[in-house]
Amino acid sequence: MDYMLGVDIGTTSTKAVLYDMKGKVIAYANAGYKLYQDVPDMAEEDPDDILDAVVAVMGQTIQKSKAQPTDIKGVSFSCAMHSLILMDQADQPLTRAITWADNRAAKYSEELKNNGLGAEIYAKTGTPIHPMAPLSKILWLRNEKPELFKQAKKFIDLKTYIFFRLFGVYKMDYSIASATGMFNIFNLDWEPQALDLLQISREQLPKLVEPTAQITGIDPKFGNLLGISANTPFIFGASDGVLSNLGVNAIDPGVVAVTIGTSGAVRVVVDKPVVDPDGKLFCYALTKDKWVVGGPVNNGGIVFRWVKDQLFAPERITAEQMQVSTYDILTQIAEKIPAGSDGLLFHPYLGGERAPIWDAYARGSFFGLTRKHTRAHMVRAALEGIVYNLYVVMLTIEKITGKPKSIQATGGFARSSLWRQLLADIFEQPVTIPESFESSCLGAAVLGMYALGYVDDLSEVKDMIGVTHVHQPNEQNFEVYRELLPIWIRLSEVLEPEYKEIAEFQKRHSD
Amino acid sequence: MDYMLGVDIGTTSTKAVLYDMKGKVIAYANAGYKLYQDVPDMAEEDPDDILDAVVAVMGQTIQKSKAQPTDIKGVSFSCAMHSLILMDQADQPLTRAITWADNRAAKYSEELKNNGLGAEIYAKTGTPIHPMAPLSKILWLRNEKPELFKQAKKFIDLKTYIFFRLFGVYKMDYSIASATGMFNIFNLDWEPQALDLLQISREQLPKLVEPTAQITGIDPKFGNLLGISANTPFIFGASDGVLSNLGVNAIDPGVVAVTIGTSGAVRVVVDKPVVDPDGKLFCYALTKDKWVVGGPVNNGGIVFRWVKDQLFAPERITAEQMQVSTYDILTQIAEKIPAGSDGLLFHPYLGGERAPIWDAYARGSFFGLTRKHTRAHMVRAALEGIVYNLYVVMLTIEKITGKPKSIQATGGFARSSLWRQLLADIFEQPVTIPESFESSCLGAAVLGMYALGYVDDLSEVKDMIGVTHVHQPNEQNFEVYRELLPIWIRLSEVLEPEYKEIAEFQKRHSD
Ligand SMILES: Nc1ncnc2c1ncn2[C@@H]1O[C@H](COP(=O)(O)OP(=O)(O)OP(=O)(O)O)[C@@H](O)[C@H]1O
Ligand SMILES: Nc1ncnc2c1ncn2[C@@H]1O[C@H](COP(=O)(O)OP(=O)(O)O)[C@@H](O)[C@H]1O
């Protein structure tokens, strides 16, 4: 049998899925690791924990599948974006992996935005100026941890680290590179203006390779452990975001991938790199001629979780006794409220926001409350608010890519039919929920198949995934949302200047 | 024994309290009546229902007290403001009593505001331009019910109606008159500009009398029923608002009366009539040389009730089982949250608002939400928001009357020590809760005692009331509120232009 192993190194866990060349799942494994948050705004992980997890899930998948070593035709990788590890002269990590969620570089990304340099660099790199990006993080380290900065031989990411441990080379694919804030997406090379700003040299960064690039000769220590031959090609792969577009078959023009998991994102594939005049969208590489334009949103399902835990705490017990998910109870409650929540509007910025407003100070709000409104209205307004916000990201993307034609939607929210319908009604687009297990793993595997010639075109992914639900926009509902959206958007603009002061109050008074 | 009977004709019930001349309560009775709300925005009452209630509670009080007819030295009245009854040629009511809560004249008060006439008239009458005022109501009737308007021999209020039935004269005291929007508070007469606008003559309005004016010769039908002699003087009295200032001993300069019942108010006594350059405060007569400046607030305890009913519905059952008030449970929950609710702000405008913003479109909002915020924060933020709003009214009053020195606080909210302390902390003033049972009745009785010479000065009320609680501002808390108030106020300004559109959406989509 011919198998392809897809590995997705995520923020909370690494997943491995073994597929046959038709995309059928043969075996699966998953291993989590610890997030370090010793000080405020820190979000780090131990790179060796992650190496252990990667090796473990690869081993488990292969073992569970009972595949022969020769059945594994390749291993292909997906990885979370924006991580940064400093390596010393002896190729040992000087830092943990500082993840995208780490906010300590906020002051420096602010500075870059204010002094105009940020806009110049964004226009070449396509990575929004934000503490998440290695660009900001390195600037922060140079200023606030100069001793570490000086010792650094290399600035790498998590996937580069894993490949370094497995193959002894520092190589980074264009896709991960395109999310560092230091990579020129138009000439596919490190951007000198960024390196000058950071005072680092090209030599301190990994060598760049295409996402389809392969490498063989795994360190025998790991090869033996895994039962994999040294000839097995490892494909460098790409970032989890762009591979998830591939994994849900949202790679054709006009097909939008909308994800609402803990956070959320809206992403569209285009054939050339493009940037947003306002610097609010990312443009990350999938391959040299497929680029993913989109916006990442902090406040996705995590907001629904907050509604569940904080506004519906008493209902948790009921749900436990009924042995159903509290989310299902809440969804059912929200369904009874008319579209538009009787004019209650919610801005979901409980934890600051990236796209569409890129404002770490942003905070949540309910607006339009009357005595008629109940907690049930609050749930529905919260779900609607999360989707309005994603829709505003879509409106920004549209300006560059044109009107969408359909939506492929994924993430935990897709479990709720109400939420799927909301997406169709607010976006006024047909919404399809693909049946795609671990879409970033599948994306990695399909990229691997393509790299190794098992498929001729990435679009063959369409035969590998099923469809679980399709929702059409409901005219009665979208007419209501058409009335509310302009109010919601104007309110966003009106509230924006007010966020900073309350956020600073909260910071001053938090313990 | 010498007794004085105080009668307060309220919106939901009429109360009568028999006092001895030291203000000791001898007997009490209370009778409610129906509010008619046949069409949206209507709020009417049947004047004969109210006459029945007035006679009933007077009779019951006298009976309970076992007083002799000659013990009753006088009967003095308090009455809700702004009511309007049209009387026909045969002195029969053409309408029910249209109460202050009736909103059908909104279009006409809007018009008066927009065409500038409203400001001119306000500057002479001291009654804010609002659908509550008889000025707006008569304009509405002239335009929308011209047949009724043409038949009207007299335009009177509820108390005038009661006195007409008891004594056969149409007389209105300065205090009630000063809340009609048609009475010139500087020359104590009907204002020609208002009458011209309405196209009505002086003869169509009651004769004006001082609040201390008295009348004898009650219709024997009622006299016999009540067991009261025809010699017993009835004092016309004043409105419930200004009499409540008297009844809680808030008549000295700088002593502010703050009430939070279902709605709320902030009121200060001054010795001359004054008006607010922005038209946002009322100035109503207590006597010729005591005027009450203040602002009425729609969103008082009714907002706390909404929080209880809508956000804490599950806790109601717990409270029932514990046999305590849900309000007490909520208060205890809110007490555990730090002052300032961790930066959660609430604007309490669930039902539009009168003072301080005079905007019927205003709506409620929560602002500053983070994942840290719980329902407990929402309760506290709601209580704080109600008090911030009253404090903004205070800030407007201060501009005219100077800084306050202390607060006398009353209303249902005074049952909660948290809420009393909030008032002290946000106003940064010592707060006293007077022990004054039915303060408007007491105010009426004291005015009656003064009119009949049983007391030399209204200030003797101070010996008639006790004190149940005194709260001093807590420095740690008020420093937090000093940080939040400017943010809350700026947010009010920012949100104000946004209310109309969402309110109109809500109206369009309500069934
Ligand atoms: N039954 C359900 N109905 C509706 N929404 C649900 C349901 N179950 C979970 N969710 C939503 O999905 C979210 C979790 O999504 P998911 O499982 O994709 O999370 P995740 O993998 O942690 O997210 P991310 O990919 O952003 O890291 C929850 O926060 C919740 O809002
Ligand atoms: N135990 C309590 N603690 C705090 N607030 C209370 C309590 N009981 C009632 N309230 C508040 O007081 C309000 C009623 O006030 P009250 O003065 O009795 O009403 P009204 O204005 O109708 O005369 C309620 O809406 C509620 O907000």
Provide the residue range defining the domain that includes A364.
301-393+482-504
Q: What is the CATH number of the domain that holds A343?
A: 3.30.420.40
A155 falls within a domain: yes
pLDDT of residue B245: 96
Do A339 and A480 meet the contact criterion of CB atoms below 8 Å apart? yes
Preferred mutation among A317, A482, A502, A509 to probe B, highest tally of B CBs within 10 A: A502
Which of the residues B345, B363, B375, B494 would you substitute to probe the A interface, choosing the one with the greatest number of A C-beta atoms within 10 Å?
B363
Residue A276 within any structural domain of the chain: no
Nearest-CA residue for ligand 1 atom 17 is: A412
Same domain, yes or no: B317 and B223? no
Question: What residues contact residue B221 under an 8 Å CB cut-off, 6+ apart?
Answer: none
Structure tokens given for A41: 């705004």
B386 touches chain A (CB under 8 A): no
Determine if ligand 1 sits within 6 Å of the CB of residue A262. Answer: yes
Closest ligand 2 atom to B411 CA: 17
Q: Which of B242, B257, B273 is the last residue of a domain?
A: B242
3-state DSSP helix/strand/coil % of chain A, to nearest 5: 45, 25, 35
Q: How far is CA B114 from CA B117, B118, B120, B248, B495, in A?
A: 8, 8, 12, 38, 21
Based on the fold, state whether residues B133 and B12 are members of the same structural domain.
yes
Q: Which residue has the tokens 């939901």?
A: B12
Instruction: Tell me whether residues A375 and B491 touch, CB distance under 8 A.
Output: no
pLDDT digits (tens, 9 = 90+) for A285-340: 999 999 999 999 999 999 999 999 999 999 999 999 999 999 999 999 999 999 99
B489 has a chain A CB within 8 A of its CB: no
Q: Do A236 and A367 share a domain, yes or no?
A: no
Helix or strand holding residue B215 (H, E): strand B214-215
Q: Which of A269, A201, A196, A197 is closest to A238 using CA atoms?
A: A269
Q: Which atom of ligand 2 is nearest to the CA of B259?
A: 17
Number of Cβ pairs closer than 8 Å across A and B?
Answer: 128
How is residue B46 written in tokens? Answer: 């049947």
| pLDDT per residue as tens digits for the range A237-260 | 999 999 999 999 999 999 999 999
Model-level ipTM above the cut of 0.90: yes
Distance, in Å, from the CA atom of B435 to the CA atom of B467, rounded to the nearest integer, reads 5
CB A287 less than 6 A from any atom of ligand 1: no
Q: A281-299: string of b/e by CB count within 10 Å (b at 16+)?
A: bbbbbbbeebbbbbbbbbb
Residue B376, min C-alpha distance to chain A (Å)? 9
Instruction: Please give the pLDDT value at position A436.
Output: 79
CA dist., res. A266 & res. B296, Å (int)? 48
Q: Whose atoms come closest to the Cα of A307: which ligand?
A: 1
pLDDT value for B437? 83
User: Ligand 1 in contact with A261 (CB < 6 A)?
Assistant: yes
- What pLDDT digit, counting tens, does each position of A136-161 carry? 999 999 999 999 999 999 999 999 99
Residue A163, min C-alpha distance to chain B (Å): 37
In sequence order, the β-bridge partners of residue A268 are: A256, A293
- Give CA–CA dist B43/A165, Å, rounded: 79
If phi over 0 gives left and psi between -120 and 50 gives alpha, with beta otherwise, what is residue A126?
left
pLDDT, residue A285, reads 98
Helix (H, G, I), strand (E, B) or coil at A361: coil
Of A194, A217, A242, the position where a domain reaches its end is A242
Task: Using CB atoms, pick whichever of B338, B374, B505 lies closest to residue A310.
Answer: B374
Whether pLDDT at B511 is above 80: no
Structure tokens at B158: 């509820």
Closest of A382, A371, A391, A380 to residue A339, by C-alpha = A380
What element of type H or E holds A172?
A: strand A171-173
pLDDT at A282: 98
A10 domain residue, yes or no: yes
State whether A238 and A306 are in the same domain. Answer: no
Give the residue from B175, B207, B242 where a domain finishes. B242
Nearest residue on chain B to A493, alpha-carbon basis: B494
CA nearest to A491, candidates A419, A388, A393, A422: A388
Domain total in chain B: 2
Q: How far is A341 from chain B (nearest CA, A)?
A: 10
Ligand 1 pocket test, pick from A299, A304, A420 with the greatest ligand atom count within 8 Å of Cβ, gives: A304
User: Do A215 and A314 belong to one domain?
Assistant: no
Given a contact cutoff of 8 angstroms between Cβ atoms, the answer to whether B430 and B471 are in contact is yes
pLDDT of B211: 98
pLDDT at B40: 86
**CB of A367 less than 8 A from some CB of B:** yes
Residue B168 maps to a domain: yes
How many Å lie between the alpha carbon of A425 and the closest alpha carbon of chain B? 18
Q: Confidence band (pLDDT; 50, 70, 90) for A398?
A: very high
Distance CA B347, CA B487 (A): 12
B209, B341: one domain = no
Q: Is A171 exposed, middle or buried (0-12, 13-18, 19+ CB in 10 A)?
A: middle
| Interfacial B residues in 267-326 facing A (CB < 8 Å) | 302, 306, 310-311, 313-315
Instruction: Give the number of C-alpha atoms closer than 13 A to the C-alpha of residue B158, restricted to the C-beta side.
Output: 33
Are both A317 and A233 inside the same structural domain? no
Cβ atoms of A81 and A240 within 8 Å: the answer is yes
Mean pLDDT over A430-450 rounds to 95
% of chain B exceeding 70 in pLDDT? 100
Q: Does one domain contain both A231 and A369?
A: no
Q: Identify the residue whose C-alpha is closest to ligand 1 atom 6.
A: A413
Among candidates B5, B60, B4, B66, which has minimal Cα distance to B31?
B60
Examine residue B406 and state whether it is found in any structural domain, yes or no: no
B275 within 8 A of B123, measured Cβ to Cβ? yes
- Ligand closest to A10 (CA) is 1
Q: Which residue has the tokens 């879409």?
A: A439
Q: CB-based contact (8 Å) between B23 and chain A?
A: no
Per-residue pLDDT tens over the stretch B76-113: 999 999 999 999 999 999 999 999 999 999 999 999 99
B500: alpha, beta or left, given left = phi > 0 and alpha = psi -120 to 50? alpha
Contacts of residue B34, Cβ cutoff 8 Å, sequence gap at least 6: B45, B46, B49
- Single out the residue of B12, B13, B17, B19 nearest to residue B29, CA to CA: B17
Q: Is the shortest distance between the CB of A331 and ligand 1 below 6 Å?
A: yes
B195 and B325 within one domain: no
Let me know the angle formed at the C-alpha of B61 by B58 and B62, rounded to the nearest 5 degrees. 85
Residues 6+ apart with CB under 8 A from A191: A121, A124, A125, A182, A183, A184
B130 pLDDT more than 90: yes
* Residue B365 to residue A370, Cβ atoms within 8 A: no
Distance CA A96, CA A98 (A): 6
Terminal CA-to-CA distance of chain B, rounded, Å?
58
Q: Are A119 and A279 in contact (CB under 8 A)?
A: yes
Residue A295 belongs to a domain: no
Q: Would you place residue B510 in the very low, low, confident or very high pLDDT band (cuts 50, 70, 90)?
A: confident
Q: What is the pLDDT of residue B461?
A: 96
The total of other beta-carbon atoms located within 10 Å of residue B168's CB is 12
A177 lines ligand 1 (CB under 6 A): no
Same domain membership, residue B174 and residue B314: no
- Of A413, A436, A441, the one to substitute when testing ligand 1's pocket (max ligand atoms within 8 A of C-beta) is A413
CA of A440 relative to ligand 1 center, distance in Å:
16
Residue A68 shares a structural domain with residue A135: yes
B450 is a domain residue = no
Which residue of B302, B338, B350 is in closest CB contact with A369? Answer: B350
Whether residue A262 lies inside any domain: the answer is: no
Average per-residue pLDDT in chain A? 96
Cβ pair B265, B297 in contact under 8 A: yes
B149 token code pair? 């308007």
Pairing of β B282-287 and β B290-297: antiparallel
Looking at the structure, do residues A159 and A305 belong to the same domain, yes or no? no
